[in-house]
Amino acid sequence: MKHPALHCAVAALLLSGACSTYAADSYWYTGLGVGLSHVQFYPADFSSGGSPTCSPRGSCSESQDEFDAGFKGFIGYQINQNWAAELSYATVGKFHYKYDDGTVTQDGVYKVSGVGFSAVPTIPFTRNLSVFGRLGAFFSQARMTFYNNGFVAGAVSPGQQFSNATLLAGFGAQYFFDGENGMRIEYENFGKVGNECNPNVTPPVPCTGRANARMLSVSAIFKF
């Protein structure tokens, strides 16, 4: 080489350019969101043929409130333009399964929350707009409490709680307005939460009942 210093300078510039490009695609971010949550109760666990029953007062009518507001927070690392990893916490919501015997309404309040760990494959369309998927695990906590328990006005049951891990999946789109702050819309499926209620087991096993939980959310994202 006639000009080794020149070659070294060019190589250094190329390497620094590659490093800066990689740095531009890699960043930490955090976000907060609100959404509409929905659970689908398992009839075998919640209907009057399951547990609890309406037998103490004869037949009863049943109603469900399967929608509620959900909230989430998350922190993530965009590894490169195609992959990110996230840690999230979601308060999925508070839902109701009610039994009315004509005199008293027994209200089963079903709460779901949990922590998620997931990989986030990302496809950028422009510098600011991208779509993404989600695949990971959701460590859920389901809690069931009955108000007017046993059809006794004012009685409250001890809360039953069950934790388990489920498959977390989802997809969405995000847009960064100024390169630093943005918005995200996302659909998430948290899988089956809670545990089975089986009145035929002796002795009875404490249960919350099972439900499939989902949420459609809008979040603000902040790079840092």
Which CATH number covers residue 214?
2.40.160.20
Q: Indicate if the pLDDT at residue 156 is higher than 50.
A: yes
Is the Cβ–Cβ distance between 11 and 37 less than 8 Å? no
Which amino acid would we find at residue 57?
R
Is residue 211 domain-resident? yes
Domain count, the chain: 1
Is residue 13 domain-resident? no
What pLDDT, in 10s, does the model give residues 22-44? 345 799 999 999 999 999 999 98
Distance between start and end Cα atoms, the chain: 44
Q: Which residues contact 143 (CB under 8 A, 6 or more apart)?
A: 110, 111, 112, 159, 160, 161, 162, 208
Provide, rounded to the nearest whole percent, the portion of the chain with pLDDT above 70.
82
Is residue 7 domain-resident? no
Q: Indicate if the pLDDT at residue 116 is higher than 80.
A: yes
Q: Indicate if the pLDDT at residue 79 is higher than 50.
A: yes
Q: Indicate if the pLDDT at residue 56 is higher than 60.
A: no
Res 197: pLDDT: 87
Res 21: pLDDT: 39
Res 8: pLDDT: 38
Q: Which residues pair with 96 in a beta bridge?
A: 65, 109
Domain of residue 100, residue span = 27-223
Q: Mean pLDDT throughout 121-134? A: 95
What pLDDT, in 10s, does the model give residues 175-206? 999 878 999 999 999 999 999 987 776 666 78
More confident residue, 31 or 50: 31
Q: Indicate if the pLDDT at residue 4 is higher than 50.
A: no
Distance CA 192, CA 194 (A): 7
Burial tier of 84 (Cβ tally within 10 Å: 0-12, 13-18, 19+): buried
Res 203: pLDDT: 67
Q: Which residues pair with 69 in a beta bridge?
A: 36
Are β-strands 27-41 and 105-124 bridged in parallel, bridged antiparallel, or unpaired?
Answer: unpaired
Is residue 212 domain-resident? yes
Is residue 80 domain-resident? yes
Q: Mean pLDDT throughout 65-83? A: 97
Is residue 3 domain-resident? no
The secondary structure of the chain as a DSSP string is ---HHHHHHHHHHHHHHHHHHHHHH-EEEEEEEEEEEEEEE-HHHHSTTSSS-STBTB--EEEEE-EEEEEEEEEEEEEETTEEEEEEEEEEEEEEEEEE-SS-EEEEEEEEEEEEEEEEEEEESSSSEEEEEEEEEEEEEEEEEEETGGG-TT-BPPPEEEEEEEEEEEEEEEEESSSSEEEEEEEEEEEEES----TTSSSPPP----EEEEEEEEEEEEE-
Q: What is the pTM of this model?
A: 0.81
Q: Which residues contact 174 (CB under 8 A, 6 or more apart)?
A: 129, 130, 131, 132, 182, 183, 184, 185, 221
Res 5: pLDDT: 41
Res 2: pLDDT: 44
Is residue 130 domain-resident? yes
Is residue 54 domain-resident? yes
Distance CA 197, CA 207 (A): 5
